[in-house]
Amino acid sequence: MSKNTPKAIRGTQDIFGPDAEGFAFVVETFERVRKLYRFRRAEMPVFEKTEVFARSLGETTDVVSKEMYSFDDRGGESLTLRPEFTAGIARAFLTNGWQQHAPLKLATHGPLFRYERPQKGRYRQFHQIDAEIIGAGEPQADVELLAMADQLLKELGIEDVTLHLNTLGDGESREAWRAALVDYFSAVKGDLSEDSQERLEKNPLRILDSKDRRDRPFLADAPKIDDFLSDEAAAFFDAVTSGLDAAGVKWKRAEALVRGLDYYRHTAFEFIPDEGSASADALGSQSTVLGGGRYDGLIENLGGPATPAVGWAAGIERLAMLVGERVEPPAVVIIVVEDDGRTSEATAALRRLREAGLSSEMIASGSLRKRYDKAVKRSPGTIISLQTEMGHSISGDDSSDPRVFETLPEYK
RNA sequence: GCGAUCGUAGCUCAGUUGGUUAGAGCGCCGGUUUGUGGUACCGGAGGUCGGGGAUUCGAGCUCCCUCGGUCGCCCCA
């Protein structure tokens, strides 16, 4: 590599080989499951006016205040590369009149951008799959959404993660709880970690899942959301949990689970690897594999009508790490050209194989005597070797697809 | 933004208390052997040891700066 070859941007990745196969497997599985649940596909732009995210996520959140990739376009307007899907989907819902389709089940996937220090399972350009139900305020929507997430993880072969579930209540419940937490933690402020003292000002709910030892003694006796839930909010949560039970989705109550973004109300959830599991090891300190919740106020914040909605997103890279490396399937046929005069013959044969839907390639370069060895190393179902004197040899008869010789009877 | 750690061929790594032309395996290219084929052997290409500066007779190895990777904190998928 020359010294003046440009390097990739920090936090971006070039994905290839087994990793790329894992990535594709996640996306393909998501597409399949999403159709099973009748979620409709949507595509949004990767950039929006900055205000779309600033107004949706909350001006004071870290994402908005320091993690957005923002820039001015030539007209001087501030634009931002999407740091998440939900805000853009809400904007699209309003500007395209998708209200007419409500309740609307949507699914999408693609790249997102966040200006952060990269580490295991976290990148500046990362990729998510995403599912939302917009315009449905009933708990059954939460159940539907979570049932889909649960089945997706199962179909990906990820068994050692558990749904951690909480409710943040409605707006009033959440505010009352928040105030009680501030009172409680303020009383012991001096004994809290520096980080949590800061959280007390900015985001007191997050003290609850602090990793600092100094905060732990105070967590167990902290005010519980359940004591502040309105009757309606409690009934809503009951309906969600009983619905999950009916759908066969295993879950675990996580009273300390809160979500970072301001727009969440009622249901909040994360699928987290079980303690000590292989998945927990694979993810390092990035524990959440899929997360989301209900965001009934968001669309109103963007100037639309009051519209309830729930959604989740999951990092494709993180899921791919749990799925493990996936090998590329070998070719059905490899044609080895051991006589350069027969290259055209091989080209014609390949065309017919591919038209018949049989994956195939040829090896026709490099040392003549090593071409066959190269083919063997790629372990195809069948090797057809075109030799001098118009001869040929076949190997792999046992594992050959019968269609190979239906397509190319002359080599049988 | 903060902390830790690493940075030698395309890849994975060796390189002794600093000492002459920097090595291996794999991969790649060519050849020999086996004569019908995933073997073995030989040879070749490929590195200004991340970059810059300092110490020294002499630095891949010591020191400083810088740039990158990785992991962790904050935050988050």
How do residues A243-274 score in pLDDT, each as one tens digit? 999 999 999 999 888 887 777 889 999 999 99
Q: Is the pLDDT of residue A221 over 70?
A: yes
Measured CA distances, A219 to A198, A200, A215, A270 (Å): 16, 14, 7, 20
Percent with pLDDT over 70 in chain A: 98
Looking across all nucleic acid strands, the nucleotide with the smallest C1' to CA distance from residue A259 is: B76
For residue A37, the model assigns a pLDDT of: 97
Nearest residue, CA→C1' of B74: A195
Nucleotides on strand B lying under 7 Å from protein C-beta: 1-3, 10, 28-34, 36-39, 48, 51, 68-77
Among the four given CATH numbers 3.30.70.2190, 2.60.40.1180, 3.40.50.800, 3.40.50.300, the one describing domain A333-411: 3.40.50.800
Q: Residue A134 burial (CB < 10 Å; 0-12/13-18/19+)? A: buried
For residue A6, the model assigns a pLDDT of: 79
Rounded Cα gap, residues A256 and A258, in angstroms? 6
> Quick check: A268 and A259 in contact, CB under 8 A?
yes
Rounded Cα gap, residues A45 and A372, in angstroms? 48
Non-local (6+) Cβ contacts of A408 within 8 A are: A349, A352, A353, A384
Distance of C1' in B77 from CA in A156, Å = 17
What region does A359 belong to: left with phi over 0, alpha with psi -120 to 50, or beta? Answer: beta
Distance of C1' in B13 from CA in A359, Å = 37
Rounded Cα gap, residues A404 and A332, in angstroms? 8
Question: With bands split at pLDDT 50, 70 and 90, how would you rate the model's confidence at A291?
Answer: very high
ipTM of the complex: 0.84
Distance of C1' in B16 from CA in A356, Å = 62
> Quick check: A163 and A146 in contact, CB under 8 A?
yes
Nearest residue, CA→C1' of B67: A7
How do residues A354-392 score in pLDDT, each as one tens digit? 999 999 999 988 778 788 888 888 888 889 988 876 677
Question: With bands split at pLDDT 50, 70 and 90, how would you rate the model's confidence at A2?
Answer: low
Q: Determine the average pLDDT of the residues in A385-406.
A: 78
Pull the structure tokens for residue A338.
Answer: 């051991």
Rounded Cα gap, residues A265 and A167, in angstroms? 7
**Bridge partners of A162?**
A272
Q: Is the pLDDT of residue A84 over 90?
A: yes
State the virtual CA torsion across A18, A22, A27, A29 in degrees, nearest 10.
Answer: 130
Ordered DSSP codes for A13-33:
----THHHHHHHHHHHHHHHH
Binding-site residue numbers of A are 84-86, 114, 128, 132, 259, 263-264
Q: Hey, where are the domains in chain A? A: 18-170+230-323, 333-411
Looking across all nucleic acid strands, the nucleotide with the smallest C1' to CA distance from residue A315 is: B77
Angle subtended at Cα A249 by Cα A26 and Cα A236, rounded to the nearest 5 degrees: 115
Distance of C1' in B36 from CA in A346, Å = 20
For residue A410, the model assigns a pLDDT of: 87
Q: Is the pLDDT of residue A308 over 80?
A: yes
Rounded Cα gap, residues A97 and A94, in angstroms? 5
Nearest residue, CA→C1' of B36: A393
Binding-site residue numbers of A for L-histidine are 84-86, 114, 128, 132, 259, 263-264
Q: Determine the average pLDDT of the residues in A202-215.
A: 85
Nearest residue, CA→C1' of B47: A1
Distance of C1' in B44 from CA in A389, Å = 32
Compute φ and ψ for A144, nearest 5 degrees: -55, -45
Pull the structure tokens for residue A235.
Answer: 């009934």
For residue A1, the model assigns a pLDDT of: 56
For residue A359, the model assigns a pLDDT of: 92
Looking across all nucleic acid strands, the nucleotide with the smallest C1' to CA distance from residue A379 is: B38
Distance of C1' in B22 from CA in A3, Å = 20
For residue A232, the model assigns a pLDDT of: 94
Which carries the bigger pLDDT value, residue A130 or residue A211?
A: A130
Which carries the bigger pLDDT value, residue A326 or residue A165?
A: A165
For the beta carbon of residue A200, count every other beta carbon within 10 angstroms. Answer: 17
Cα end-to-end span (Å), chain A: 47
**3-state SS, residue A162:** strand
Distance of C1' in B41 from CA in A374, Å = 19
How do residues A155-187 score in pLDDT, each as one tens digit? 999 999 999 999 999 988 988 999 999 999 999
Rounded Cα gap, residues A300 and A314, in angstroms? 25
Which ranges constitute the DSSP H helices of A248-356?
A: 278-283, 298-301, 316-323, 343-355
Q: Determine the average pLDDT of the residues in A19-28.
A: 92
The closest alpha carbon to A62, from A315, A292, A313, A261, belongs to A261
For residue A369, the model assigns a pLDDT of: 78
Angle subtended at Cα A127 by Cα A121 and Cα A132, rounded to the nearest 5 degrees: 115
Looking across all nucleic acid strands, the nucleotide with the smallest C1' to CA distance from residue A63 is: B75
Q: Is the pLDDT of residue A212 over 90?
A: no
What region does A293 belong to: left with phi over 0, alpha with psi -120 to 50, or beta? Answer: left
Looking across all nucleic acid strands, the nucleotide with the smallest C1' to CA distance from residue A393 is: B36
Summary mean pLDDT of chain A: 90
Looking across all nucleic acid strands, the nucleotide with the smallest C1' to CA distance from residue A313 is: B77
Looking across all nucleic acid strands, the nucleotide with the smallest C1' to CA distance from residue A371 is: B37
Distance of C1' in B63 from CA in A196, Å = 39
> Quick check: A212 and A198 in contact, CB under 8 A?
no
Distance of C1' in B7 from CA in A59, Å = 39
Residue position matching structure tokens 């987290």: A272
Q: What is the CATH number of domain A18-170+230-323?
A: 3.30.930.10
